[in-house]
Amino acid sequence: MSSRAVVIAPSLLAADFSRVGEEIRKAETAGADWLHLDVMDGHFVPNISFGLPVAEAARRATSLFLDTHLMIEDPLTYGPQFAAAGSDRVIFHIEACEPPEGRVKWPRGWALAGEPTAAGLRRGREIAAAIRKTGKAAGIALNPETPAEAVLALVPDVDLILVMSVWPGFGGQAFIDGVVPKIAELRRGAPGLRIEMDGGITPATIGACARAGADAFVAGTAVFRQPDPAAAVRALREQAG
């Protein structure tokens, strides 16, 4: 388990978009530490969510730390733009660094079979540097079937690793238990970084992730879709220990 304080980051993707400002204030009142923004382009993942205008609006609406997760094919172009739009951290996928011929296509998305190629690693470092040049933090994400070793070479270039515990693209999916051992591998290889979990995080799944070494948790439906979001955040924090 990490010695860092647990962070709960409600995902705006699960909010009611007819009243986004109210939903963000609800997350603040509930005790959220960060606000998580899931950006999807319809290419890297089979869905489209929202873009720069929503990130800019979220920045105007809150002083919460904006944790932006780019599930897109071109993070080099758009990573710095989301940083300039007000994101405090921009997270990109290791799979998006690799050319399509170097990826493994699964029914639900992309994965790497092991370490990235030299070209993929160079691109990952280039993306992280471009984000950091704006003065904001960079993070690296990996999909459920991508092994831990795929991102460990980028540890010096980022301040957070995001582990997908569902296939990215849609909210409300069930947690994939098989990712838990990967958390412990990442914690051993990146003892100084935040490790964030995204997908299917509930009071029933958060404890195993925390015990394995994760210390930041994205929760969408488990917060925004609950009758008492404050109680939901407390329950998550308590179960994470």
Known active-site residue 67: no
The two tokens of residue 67 are: 């944790």
CA–CA gap between residue 208 and residue 206 (Å, rounded)? 6
- Catalytic, out of 38, 41, 67, 157: 38
Q: Is residue 198 among the annotated active site residues?
A: yes
Cβ-contact 126, 104 below 8 angstroms:
no
CA 179 from centroid of its chain's CA atoms: 14
Residue of 33, 157, 198, 215 with catalytic role: 198
Mapping DSSP to helix (H, G, I), strand (E, B) and coil, where does residue 7 land? strand
Question: In b/e form, how buried is each residue of 136-150, taking b as 16+ CB within 10 angstroms?
Answer: bbbbbbbbbbbbbbb
Phi, psi of 113 (to 5 degrees): -85, -20
> Whole-angstrom Cα distance, residue 87 to residue 182?
27
- The structure tokens listed for 51 are 């873009």
Q: Which residues are catalytic?
A: 38, 198
